[in-house]
Amino acid sequence: MRLGTGPLVACLVLVSFASMLVAIPAGTWWSTAALSLGSGIAAVSLMAMAAVLGARWKWLESVFGGLDRVYETHKWLGVWALVFALVHFVFKAGNAEWQTAAIVTLPGPATRLVRQLSLVALGLIVLLALNRNIPYRVWRWWHKLSGPLFLIVVAHWLSFKSPIALPSPSGVWLAVLSVLAVVAATYKLLLYPMLSQHAEYRLQSVSGNGGAVHLQLAPVGRKIPFVPGQFAFVSFRRDGLREPHPFTIAGAATDDGSIAFMVRALGDYTARLVNEAEPGLTAEVYAPFGRFQRARDGRAEIWIAGGVGVTPFLAWLQEADGAPFDRVTFFHFFTPGRELPEAVDPRALSGQRGVELVEITTGPGASEFRSRFAAIVAEAGPGHVRISFCGPKGLLRQVRSLMHETGVPDDRLRHELFEFR
């Protein structure tokens, strides 16, 4: 059982409102003042939990089923925090029947300034998280301010006159979450580069066709263990490439500890890396992350990859001790003219493993995809197939639609989240 975004958001909001109701008279429970106060507590709670998830603690992957899911939840926590913060600021969180006091007393102008800055801080954090037009290096450094900006929000709830006392359920709830958030933000901002699992690697070879490159790196000292389907954050020691960027590992583990990545020029950072990558370049590799691993239950497998989403399947095909490949059909969607580097050839790898490869260049409506997919489902049975997907959201929607048409249950699909921000 894995924790999802919806249940976590619902739990945080319900606990926030429930703890607030204890602190105010029952006659005011249905007032706009109560709605505002509860929304404010919920906003702080959601933002605090977002900071906790942003720490990349390994145990969170087990709870959510992978760091990609952690990041998705992290994003939506910020979005919902902004929604509840706006509700809190629209209505006055005060009522004549409430006994109010500030936990920490600040001068009047300072209290009002902190109140306004807290909304600005939260809005800035969410906009940075959702705006994909910001260059990656700028986005990452601005996003590092999320932790310090959260301190402004903490200062607001501590200095705001409200019926919430520190020993009350709401006070304890907010205090615990705030402390966890500050600890997480401090760890991520200052301690993560030292305490997280990482190692130095040197780029051995670069091959590609201009739009995409295959990078082979060897460990300088110790090597990092990983399994096919996982990904890493890579920080190259060159100006403009130092920001750790996530890349799926494009090969299986080897005895010498080498690690491979396939990079396509899809943004400002990746375009620069494709152009400037050269043998001898060193990098810090933070890994492993992710839970996108191959099923090993002997059922018929359908692999579906779109674009650079082919990377984890290339790693699966190179795994020496993996499950048999005799019941695997691999649908590879790609755009003509955007072929992969020669170092990663899905046709050759599939042929070596006995995997049925179906290359699609015309989109998910192609008859060869739909008919072959339906034939596999009919032969194995809708409940006896395993579908593994990695690709754009539009293709994922089409795959889900085809699953419904052929009667395949939703829980037969496992998919890697394709976009991190």
CATH assignment at residue 369: 3.40.50.80
Who has greater pLDDT, 350 or 109? 350
Establish if 53 belongs to a structural domain: yes
pLDDT at 1 over 80: no
123 and 255 together in one domain:
no
Show the tokens assigned to 126. Answer: 């969410």
pLDDT tens, 349-371? 999 999 999 999 988 899 999 99
The candidate with the shortest Cα–Cα distance to 87, out of 17, 3, 135, 165, is: 17
Q: What is the mean pLDDT of residues 236-251?
A: 90
84 and 133 together in one domain:
yes
> Domain with 227 in it: what CATH number?
2.40.30.10
Task: Look over the chain and give the mean of its residue pLDDT values, rounded to a whole number.
Answer: 88
Establish if 421 belongs to a structural domain: no
Whole-number Å distance between alpha carbons of 162 and 332: 58
Q: Is 109 in a helix, a strand, or coil?
A: helix
Residue that terminates a domain, selected from 148, 163, 195: 195
188 and 229 together in one domain:
no
pLDDT at 418 over 60: no
pLDDT at 196 over 70: yes
> Domain with 26 in it: what CATH number?
1.20.120
**pLDDT, position 149:** 80
**pLDDT, position 416:** 83
Who has greater pLDDT, 284 or 363? 284
**pLDDT, position 40:** 93
pLDDT tens, 320-349? 776 788 899 999 998 887 778 877 889 999
133 and 165 together in one domain:
yes
Give the CA count within 13 Å in the CB-facing half-sphere of 3: 18
Who has greater pLDDT, 266 or 26? 26
208 and 227 together in one domain:
yes
Residue that terminates a domain, selected from 289, 315, 345: 289
**pLDDT, position 421:** 47
Q: What is the number of other CB atoms lying within 10 angstroms of the CB of residue 234?
A: 24
Residue that terminates a domain, selected from 289, 317, 349: 289
What φ, ψ does residue 8 adopt, rounded to 5°?
Answer: -65, -45
Show the tokens assigned to 252. Answer: 């299986």
Q: What is the mean pLDDT of residues 247-257?
A: 90
**pLDDT, position 142:** 67
CB 48 within 8 A of CB 8: no
CB 242 within 8 A of CB 235: yes
314 and 377 together in one domain:
yes
Establish if 295 belongs to a structural domain: no
| Cis, peptide link before residue 219, omega less than 30° from 0 | no
Establish if 280 belongs to a structural domain: yes
183 and 72 together in one domain:
yes
**pLDDT, position 220:** 96
Burial class (CB in 10 A: 0-12, 13-18, 19+), 294: buried
pLDDT at 129 over 80: no
Query: Total domain count for the chain?
Result: 3
334 and 369 together in one domain:
yes
29 and 114 together in one domain:
yes
Q: What is the mean pLDDT of residues 232-256?
A: 90
Q: Of how many residues is the chain composed? A: 421
- Which of 7-16, 52-61, 194-203, 246-255 has the highest average model confidence (pLDDT)? 7-16
Establish if 62 belongs to a structural domain: yes
Establish if 294 belongs to a structural domain: no
The candidate with the shortest Cα–Cα distance to 290, out of 52, 137, 71, 73, is: 71
Q: What is the mean pLDDT of residues 280-300?
A: 89
**pLDDT, position 152:** 85
* 298 — pLDDT class (breaks 50, 70, 90): confident
49 and 151 together in one domain:
yes
**pLDDT, position 134:** 65
Q: What is the mean pLDDT of residues 42-67?
A: 91
**pLDDT, position 335:** 85
* 268 — pLDDT class (breaks 50, 70, 90): confident
pLDDT at 177 over 70: yes
Q: In the chain, what percentage of residues exceed pLDDT 70? A: 93
Q: Domain limits at 383? A: 300-416
Establish if 240 belongs to a structural domain: yes
Q: Mutual orientation of helices 67-90 and 32-53 as an angle, nearest 10°?
A: 150
The 3-state DSSP composition of the chain as helix, strand, coil percent (nearest 5) reads 50, 20, 35
* 419 — pLDDT class (breaks 50, 70, 90): low
Q: What is the mean pLDDT of residues 255-262?
A: 92
376 and 333 together in one domain:
yes
pLDDT at 131 over 90: no
Q: Is 66 in a helix, a strand, or coil?
A: coil
Cross-strand pairs, 387: 302, 413
Establish if 158 belongs to a structural domain: yes
Whole-number Å distance between alpha carbons of 343 and 314: 11
190 and 95 together in one domain:
yes
Show the tokens assigned to 45. Answer: 């709670």
Show the tokens assigned to 65. Answer: 């089923």
